[in-house]
Chain A
Amino acid sequence: MLQQTMSGRRTPLYLQHVNACARLVDFAGWEMPQQYRSVKDEQAAVRTAAGLFDVSHMGRFEIRGAAAGEFLQGMVTNDLGHLGADHAQYTLLCTSGGGIVDDLIVYRRGADDWWVVVNAANRDKDTAWFQQHAPRGIEIVDRSEEVSLLALQGPKAAILGPMKEIDPAAIPPFGIAGGPVAGVPSVVSRTGYTGEDGFELFVPSQQVASVWEALVEVGAEPCGLAARDVCRLEAGLRLYGSDMDQDTNPYEAGLGWTVKLEKGDFVGRQALQQMKAEGVRRHLVGLSGVDRTIPRHGSAVRLDGSVVGAVTSGTYSFWLQRGIAMAMIEAGSGPVGTTVQVDSRSGSGQAEVVSLPFYRGSARRAVRP
């Protein structure tokens, strides 16, 4: 008889998830917690206190070599020339044709220690992409196994006891600091994917369980991928694979601000320059569900009967108490305030085009050092 078991990869916190009665789901080949309690409660914890996510399924790479900074500068769209020591930056990798390979965060620890964190689903693709472009002397080292990644998010994240030793309040947005968390030597960045103030913690995998438990002990609420998705959508943060992919360019995705054409040459620059000059034919907008409409991924978006685009991701926001979504629609078809129709299970619902984000949390933007 065929024994069916979930065959996904597990993070070092798998036992903690099982013991907390998490509902586990497959995400990009990983067995990850969807939720521990209700999504509503977990999301409220992030918005009002502190939520704790295991995001160790994401890829962590160290870029080694004397010219690592220059190499990365030639790969990503944003300008690392403005990135000081102990700071991180959100950026994109693009193909030579200007399509988005992935969105990622580049971390500059000290002056010459470069790391990148990439989407779980793109780990292999990104490794190959970096390796394909790496000159002699540049090494792409996968550190994902030995270093786990936690996200501690929420207005109370900075005041939790185990965080105090690193003086979290002194870390600026997108800043990085090293020090002990619950006694375990860690690297902490003031970054996240929820729209809320908070931190991402790079912790040695062998000791990550004790850090997790110490944070839960003082009240951090374990949160699953479902709450993470609701939070990021409310905050207008794009999800690779849903809101953008290799057939999307940064301008369409509303991420033109991460493309610094003036910084010098990088992969995709020429195509992106042309795309910027030509303008976009379609772009990502926010949709706010009218009445009980929850726009869902893949649903057609119509204006006066004709299809003008499709929903790229959608959910129900308990915080805002309505359906919210992002949709890729024809440029000019639906300015903010336009009412559009969204196909749904029960026929058709209505949604209003709104600007992103839906919600501004306690997270602050990076200030250039």
Chain B
Amino acid sequence: MAERYYTETHEWVTVQDSLATLGITDYAQAQLGDVVFLELPRVGKLLEAGDSFGVVESVKAASDLYSPVAGTVTEVNESLNVTPELVNRDPYGEGWLIKVHLNGDLGEGLLDEMGYKALTEGQTH
């Protein structure tokens, strides 16, 4: 299983060969509460690292999604159209958001499991 990296804005990414899978973290889904809609990019969209690639709407708030990677969107999780709650139920599995064909290496500033844990524990008041 590919190692998972995290952003300070609570997205996660795993990479296998040059295909990256993106989602939001368990911490993020818990903070947001029930996810009700996702606005995700079209397949073929070109992303730069740091670009906003969509919006997640929950009962509580609407939040931007930021891509930690540069590349081309190759797949969007269509099942979220019907069951957005997959993001709450299984954020690292069935609740993935998009797949991106990487254009180069992973961006800088990504956190590993330990680094992300430290970040969120600091934020849990």
Judged by a CB distance under 8 angstroms, whether A341 is at the interface is no
With both chains docked as a complex, state the minimum distance between the C-beta of B104 and any C-beta of chain A, in angstroms. 28
Contact A38–B125 (Cβ < 8 Å): no
0/1 string, A67-94, CB within 8 A of B gives 1: 0000000000000000000000000000
Q: Which of B33, B55, B63, B124 is A35 in contact with, Cβ under 8 Å?
A: B33
Judged by a CB distance under 8 angstroms, whether B2 is at the interface is no
Q: In the complex where A315-B59, A345-B55 touch, is A4 in contact with B30 (Cβ < 8 A)?
A: no
Interface centre among B30, B60, B64 (most CB of A within 10 A): B60
With both chains docked as a complex, state the minimum distance between the C-beta of B11 and any C-beta of chain A, in angstroms. 16
Contact A40–B34 (Cβ < 8 Å): yes
Chain B residues within an 8 Å CB radius of A26: 125
0/1 string, A307-338, CB within 8 A of B gives 1: 00000000110100000000000000000000
Q: In the complex where A6-B125, A315-B59 touch, is A38 in contact with B37 (Cβ < 8 A)?
A: no
Q: In the complex where A38-B85, A316-B57 touch, is A294 in contact with B122 (Cβ < 8 A)?
A: no
Q: In the complex where A345-B62, A346-B55 touch, is A226 in contact with B37 (Cβ < 8 A)?
A: no
A278-326 interface (Cβ within 8 A of B) = 292, 294, 296, 315-316, 318
Judged by a CB distance under 8 angstroms, whether A230 is at the interface is yes
Q: In the complex where A296-B62, A344-B62 touch, is A226 in contact with B125 (Cβ < 8 A)?
A: no
> How large, as a class, is the contact surface on chain B?
20 to 34
Contact B85–A40 (Cβ < 8 Å): yes
Q: In the complex where A34-B33, A316-B36 touch, is A4 in contact with B122 (Cβ < 8 A)?
A: yes
Q: Which of A6, A39, A344, A346 is B34 in contact with, Cβ under 8 Å?
A: A39
Interface centre among B30, B57, B88 (most CB of A within 10 A): B57
The distance in angstroms between the C-alpha atoms of A230 and B59, with both chains bound, is 8
Judged by a CB distance under 8 angstroms, whether B39 is at the interface is yes
0/1 string, B69-89, CB within 8 A of A gives 1: 000000000000000010010
The distance in angstroms between the C-alpha atoms of A345 and B63, with both chains bound, is 7
Chain A residues within an 8 Å CB radius of B85: 38, 40
> How large, as a class, is the contact surface on chain A?
20 to 34
B30-75 interface (Cβ within 8 A of A) = 30, 33-34, 36-37, 39, 55, 57-64
Judged by a CB distance under 8 angstroms, whether A5 is at the interface is yes
Judged by a CB distance under 8 angstroms, whether A360 is at the interface is no
Chain B residues within an 8 Å CB radius of A365: none
Q: Which of B57, B88, B124, B125 is A294 in contact with, Cβ under 8 Å?
A: B57
Chain A residues within an 8 Å CB radius of B88: 38
The distance in angstroms between the C-alpha atoms of A226 and B36, with both chains bound, is 14
The distance in angstroms between the C-alpha atoms of A26 and B124, with both chains bound, is 11
A13-47 interface (Cβ within 8 A of B) = 23, 26, 34-35, 38-40
Contact B33–A292 (Cβ < 8 Å): no
Contact B62–A23 (Cβ < 8 Å): no
The distance in angstroms between the C-alpha atoms of A6 and B125, with both chains bound, is 5
Chain A residues within an 8 Å CB radius of B33: 23, 34-35, 39, 226
With both chains docked as a complex, state the minimum distance between the C-beta of A325 and any C-beta of chain B, in angstroms. 12
0/1 string, B14-40, CB within 8 A of A gives 1: 000000000000000010011011010
Chain B residues within an 8 Å CB radius of A294: 36-37, 57, 62
Which residue of chain A is the closest to B30 with respect to CB atoms? A23
Chain A residues within an 8 Å CB radius of B36: 294, 316, 318
Chain B residues within an 8 Å CB radius of A35: 33-34
Taking A294-B37, A345-B55 as known contacts, 6 extra A-B pairs with beta carbons closer than 8 A to each other, sorted by chain A number, are: A26-B125, A38-B88, A39-B34, A226-B34, A230-B59, A316-B34
Residues of A that sit less than 8 Å from B by CB: 4-7, 23, 26, 34-35, 38-40, 226, 230, 292, 294, 296, 315-316, 318, 344-346
24 contacts between A and B (CB under 8 A): A4-B124, A4-B125, A5-B125, A6-B124, A6-B125, A26-B125, A38-B34, A38-B88, A39-B34, A39-B59, A226-B33, A226-B59, A230-B59, A292-B37, A292-B57, A294-B36, A294-B37, A315-B59, A316-B37, A316-B57, A318-B34, A318-B36, A346-B39, A346-B62
Residues of B that sit less than 8 Å from A by CB: 30, 33-34, 36-37, 39, 55, 57-64, 85, 88, 122, 124-125
